[in-house]
Amino acid sequence: MDIQSIKNRFGIIGNSPALNHALNTAVQVANTDLSVLIVGESGVGKEVFSMIIHALSPRKHNPFIAVNCGAIPEGTIDSELFGHEKGSFTGAVDSRKGYFETVNGGTIFLDEIGEMPLGTQARLLRVLETGEFIRVGSSKVQKTDVRVIAATNRDLLEYTQAGDFRQDLYYRLSTVPIRVPSLRDRKEDIPLLFRKFAADFAERYKTQSVQLDSTAQQMLVNYYWPGNVRELKNIAEQISVLSTDKAITAEVMQRFLPQRENSRSLAVIPSAGQSNSSGGSADFNTERDILYKLFFDLKKDMNDLKQMIYDVAHHQGYTPVDPSSNTALMPVYNETDHNTQPSYNGSTPILLEPNDHHEDVEETLLLADREKEFITKALKKHKSRRRDAAAELGISERTLYRKIKEYNIEE
């Protein structure tokens, strides 16, 4: 089956090279029993790729089930996946088969695999390596023949380094990785997708399909699309239902695009001799990381300056204190140096007090304090779910993870 036939069958729209490459990989691996790890941001359509792989595989007539690992409570996920025996825990009034037992011979799609608890990861690794599992509360080993396709919107390799994901499981799952491109990486497909969604909603709601002028279309293309295809579909539906004028201009489009996220799509002004022909949309997270580096470099420079001032003052017989105190400017005299007078050489005096030991005063920038406070509040609000906290803060999960380690924030 060729790529265009697959697109027509599963409703995939677009012709970007990255999308076609991902589809080609899915077709090539479908006829095998290899484990597949589908990687991509939220909303790019990872589940559709799992359906394509199953539909083109020898298992296509057997069961297929999609399981969202992030939506199952940690205390019950083992029971959901592997089953349990009667009385194995409170509420287990009957024995129950798990997904790996009921889908025997078929395919199981484990979405958001990065949310899976470490204990469950160990059980999953055993299934992948030996085809064996044990129900919760049982000692009987059972066999299953299930193909596992996993998906994540996280950097699992980084998670393995942090100890949040098993390294052996990562390499076992990613036998064949498929990277589904984000919408901003396939900008040429955005107008096609919008027209398709607009036509579908016009038919559903019995209205005229909306049409974008060139300025509105350009705004749509330049938008950051953090929610990817899912967000584009929602925007198309909002415009189809709420817009009274079916000819959409940039002014109308501006009302429907979220302002906080839309600010990410603003192009960086190129420096002299630098072209902006690449599409004009700078990566927001990269810009933020650059700003962080500038701020922390500034903090380091300030601390270096303070140390230099201390060294000079200490050399002249002074010991610096907190500038916010009311201590007078005083030299440190030895008992035999009563006639020695310090010289300021016309420079601005530094607030000093007599002291026999070095007091290292570390200044903390207000920005860093506020940043730590915001990160802590966001994590608390979202119950330590880093993905949601990162979205709330408007930063990438990788940046959030680095900040948590840098500030030693307890989750």
pLDDT of 23 over the 60 cut: yes
In percent, how much of the chain has pLDDT > 90? Answer: 58
Pairing verdict, β 141-143 and 132-134: antiparallel
In percent, how much of the chain has pLDDT > 70? Answer: 74
Residues 41 and 184 sit within 8 Å (Cβ to Cβ): no
Residue 347: pLDDT band with limits 50, 70, 90: very low
pLDDT of 326 over the 80 cut: no
Out of 61-65, 165-169, 186-190, 322-326, which region has the weakest mean confidence (pLDDT)?
Answer: 322-326
Residue 311: pLDDT band with limits 50, 70, 90: low
Read off the pLDDT of residues 272-290 as tens digits, 9 standing for 90 and up: 334 343 344 344 444 555 5
| Inter-CA distances, 285 with 256, 282, 396, Å | 23, 9, 6
**Cα–Cα distance between 397 and 233 in angstroms, integer?**
24
Can you tell me the mean pLDDT for 377-404? 82
Out of 68-77, 89-98, 298-307, 362-371, which region has the weakest mean confidence (pLDDT)?
Answer: 362-371
Residues 189 and 182 sit within 8 Å (Cβ to Cβ): no
Out of 67-81, 121-135, 139-153, 265-279, which region has the weakest mean confidence (pLDDT)?
Answer: 265-279
**Cα–Cα distance between 26 and 15 in angstroms, integer?**
16
Q: Supply the pTM of this predicted model.
A: 0.63
Q: What is the gyration radius of the CA atoms in the chain, in angstroms?
A: 30
Q: Which one of 85-94, 248-257, 282-291 scores highest in mean pLDDT?
A: 248-257
**pLDDT value for 306:** 67
Can you tell me the mean pLDDT for 51-68? 97
**Cα–Cα distance between 336 and 330 in angstroms, integer?**
17
**pLDDT value for 343:** 43
Read off the pLDDT of residues 198-249 as tens digits, 9 standing for 90 and up: 999 999 999 999 999 999 999 999 999 999 999 999 999 999 999 988 999 9
pLDDT of 91 over the 50 cut: yes
What are the chain's domains? 3-181 (3.40.50.300), 187-265 (1.10.8.60), 365-407 (1.10.10)
Phi first, then psi, for residue 236 (nearest 5°) are -60, -40
Read off the pLDDT of residues 28-53 as tens digits, 9 standing for 90 and up: 999 999 999 999 999 999 999 999 99
Distance from the Cα of residue 411 to its chain's centroid:
17
Question: Across all residues in the chain, what is the average pLDDT?
Answer: 81
Residue 298: pLDDT band with limits 50, 70, 90: low
**What is the separation, in whole angstroms, between the first and last Cα of the chain?**
48
Residues 228 and 222 sit within 8 Å (Cβ to Cβ): no
Interaxial angle between packed helices 284-315 and 397-407, expressed in degrees from 0 to 180 and rounded to the nearest 10:
20
Read off the pLDDT of residues 172-206 as tens digits, 9 standing for 90 and up: 999 999 999 999 999 999 999 999 999 999 999 99
**pLDDT value for 131:** 96
- A 10 A CB-CB count for 45 gives 20
Residues 74 and 117 sit within 8 Å (Cβ to Cβ): yes
Order of strands across the sheet with 107-111?
A: 64-68, 107-111, 147-152, 36-39, 176-179
Residue 364: pLDDT band with limits 50, 70, 90: very low
**pLDDT value for 362:** 46
Residue 363: pLDDT band with limits 50, 70, 90: very low
**pLDDT value for 353:** 42
Residue 169: pLDDT band with limits 50, 70, 90: very high
**pLDDT value for 318:** 55
Distance from the Cα of residue 202 to its chain's centroid:
34
Q: Of 201, 199, 193, 252, give the one whose Cα is nearest residue 221.
A: 193
